[in-house]
Amino acid sequence: MRIVPMITAVLVVGFLYFLVFERDELVAFARDEHAGAAAPQSAAPQAVPDAPADAVGVVVQTSRAREIDTAVILRGQTEADAEVEVRSETSAVVVSEPLPKGLFVEKGEVLCRLDPGTRPTALAEAQARLAEAQASLPAAEAAKAEAEARVIEAEARLDEAEINDNAARQLSEGGFASTTRVATTLAGVRSAEAGVQAARSGLESARRGIASARSGIQAAESAIVAAQTEIDRLTITAPFAGVLETDTAELGSFMQQGSLCATVMRLDPIKVVGFVPETDVDRIEVGAPAGARLISGREIVGRVTFLSRSADETTRTFRTEIEVANPDFSIRDGQTAEILIGAEGRISHLLPASALTLDNLGRLGVRVVKTDGLVGFVPVTILRDTVDGVWLGGLPEEADVIVMGQDFVTEGVRVAVTYREVAK
């Protein structure tokens, strides 16, 4: 009865011996047997005949580069073309009925109307002062003309008195005039000089009267402008055509200077805003075609209208704006969007996604077979993902890419290559 356990023990010991001490021969035997069994069923091309016996078998696809259109992909959101908080510039009570939020308003449409109070009276008073100042100007100009005439008359009298005085002096020197006459003519000169001085003072006073009248006109005109401006501020209008984001101010509420009347948004056109990393900013140009897919699945198209020249200090990205037509306002402000911006084509390779692998440094790439039959690693970047495979950048014009077995070899390993036909 003990013969069976003994036989079992002998078999286990023999298996362990071959597994530990004759492992290489056992693996080679298993490979030969598997190859012999699979050979009649395989229709793929055979491996390279002169490959070493210990080379690892891999499947290789010869890939040639092609140019494809690429796009810069960003995450962003929609943003209103303009959003303004319309506020009061004066203080008064609201006398208009409120408008509901969501209502479309045209440019210049009344949003809030305020009680005028005493402002019309102030305007009428300023207009009356203007009329008074304008009426005083002709009188001042007439007084100036009269003063100028008096100056001319006084100067003529002075000239006459000086002539008489000169004649009296000459006659007195020849003994033909008395000293009393000389004194009289000299007194006449002094009186004429005083008359000239008085006339000139009157002229200066008349000029000041004109200046005062003109200053009164300017002050009255300024008062009229101020009063009219205050009246104009009583009517608060929409700065542009848009949608009310908030209700307008309630009837009877008191608005101070700076109080909010309503918020108006312009949604046509609407902007789609994203932030471009430094690596892709040189690939984008203003005017480039662009599209976006909203979180709801809706796709919209437009063009790049703005690309910032200054990077954000925190993220080191550049703001870009895409303008999209939105005539029915169906696109709302703040919707999440996936943005695609058209860029110049790139040379790339179409390969199966399964060919991608990582090297010891964690870089994404593919393993290739070099001309000497050894394995190499090439880092790549994914340009586009499609149902037919992934478009990769970073490979040379032509490359033998390992598409099966790449995870079982490392750089420098010699491989036995089997080429796979590429589907046309």
**Type of residue at 20:** V
Over range 36-40, report the average pLDDT. 39
**pLDDT tens-digit series, residues 361-380:** 889 999 999 988 899 999 99
Non-local CB neighbours of 156 within 8 Å, separated by 6+ positions: none
Distance (Å, rounded) from C-alpha 307 to C-alpha 280? Answer: 12
163, pLDDT greater than 90:
no
32, pLDDT greater than 60:
no
Identify the burial level of 151 via C-beta atoms within 10 angstroms of its C-beta, where 0-12 means exposed, 13-18 middle and 19 or more buried.
Answer: buried
Q: Is the dihedral of CA 181, 182, 188, 191 positive or negative?
A: negative
The band of 34, judged by pLDDT with boundaries at 50, 70 and 90, is very low
Identify the burial level of 200 via C-beta atoms within 10 angstroms of its C-beta, where 0-12 means exposed, 13-18 middle and 19 or more buried.
Answer: middle
How far is Cα of residue 424 from the mean position of the Cα atoms in its chain?
46
Distance (Å, rounded) from C-alpha 39 to C-alpha 275? Answer: 56
Distance (Å, rounded) from C-alpha 391 to C-alpha 396? Answer: 13
How far is Cα of residue 161 from the mean position of the Cα atoms in its chain?
84
Q: Is the dihedral of CA 330, 331, 334, 336 positive or negative?
A: positive
Non-local CB neighbours of 338 within 8 Å, separated by 6+ positions: 73, 74, 75, 292, 293
Distance (Å, rounded) from C-alpha 127 to C-alpha 44? Answer: 103
3-state secondary structure of 330: coil
User: What confidence score (pLDDT) does residue 187 get?
Assistant: 78
User: What confidence score (pLDDT) does residue 7 get?
Assistant: 67
Q: Greater confidence, 139 or 182?
A: 139
Distance (Å, rounded) from C-alpha 257 to C-alpha 230? Answer: 12
3-state secondary structure of 188: helix
**pLDDT tens-digit series, residues 213-258:** 888 888 888 989 999 999 999 999 999 999 999 999 999 999 999 9
Q: Per mean pLDDT, which range of 48-52, 123-127, 351-355, 357-361 is the poorest?
A: 48-52
3-state secondary structure of 335: coil
User: What confidence score (pLDDT) does residue 171 get?
Assistant: 72
Q: Per mean pLDDT, which range of 72-76, 168-172, 354-358 is the poorest?
A: 168-172
Instruction: For the chain, report the end-to-end CA distance as a whole number of angstroms.
Output: 68
405 token code pair: 């077995």
The band of 319, judged by pLDDT with boundaries at 50, 70 and 90, is very high
Q: Greater confidence, 167 or 42?
A: 167
User: What confidence score (pLDDT) does residue 14 get?
Assistant: 63
pLDDT cut 90: percent of the chain above it: 32
Q: Greater confidence, 404 or 170?
A: 404
* Pick among 2.40.30.170, 3.40.640.10, 2.30.29.30, 3.20.20.70: CATH of 263-345: 2.40.30.170
Distance (Å, rounded) from C-alpha 400 to C-alpha 378? Answer: 11
Distance (Å, rounded) from C-alpha 10 to C-alpha 16? Answer: 10
The band of 46, judged by pLDDT with boundaries at 50, 70 and 90, is very low
* Pick among 1.10.645.10, 2.40.420.20, 3.30.1360.30, 2.60.120.10: CATH of 44-65+352-424: 2.40.420.20
For all residues of the chain together, what is the average pLDDT? 82
64 token code pair: 């040639």
CB atoms within 10 A of CB 127: 16
**Type of residue at 236:** I
Indicate whether this model's pTM tops 0.75.
no
3-state secondary structure of 101: coil
3-state secondary structure of 298: coil
Q: Per mean pLDDT, which range of 38-52, 275-289, 337-351 is the poorest?
A: 38-52
Over range 334-347, report the average pLDDT. 84
How far is Cα of residue 189 from the mean position of the Cα atoms in its chain?
83
User: What confidence score (pLDDT) does residue 177 get?
Assistant: 62
Short-list 254, 256, 265, 234, CA closest to 101: 265
Non-local CB neighbours of 56 within 8 Å, separated by 6+ positions: 405, 408, 409, 413, 414, 415, 416
Distance (Å, rounded) from C-alpha 77 to C-alpha 279? Answer: 21
Q: Per mean pLDDT, which range of 32-36, 92-96, 253-257 is the poorest?
A: 32-36
Q: Is the dihedral of CA 38, 41, 44, 45 positive or negative?
A: positive
28, pLDDT greater than 80:
no
Q: β-strand 415-419 against 56-64: which pairing, if any? A: parallel
According to DSSP, residue 331 is labeled S
Q: Per mean pLDDT, which range of 66-70, 255-259, 263-267, 385-389 is the poorest?
A: 66-70
384, pLDDT greater than 90:
no
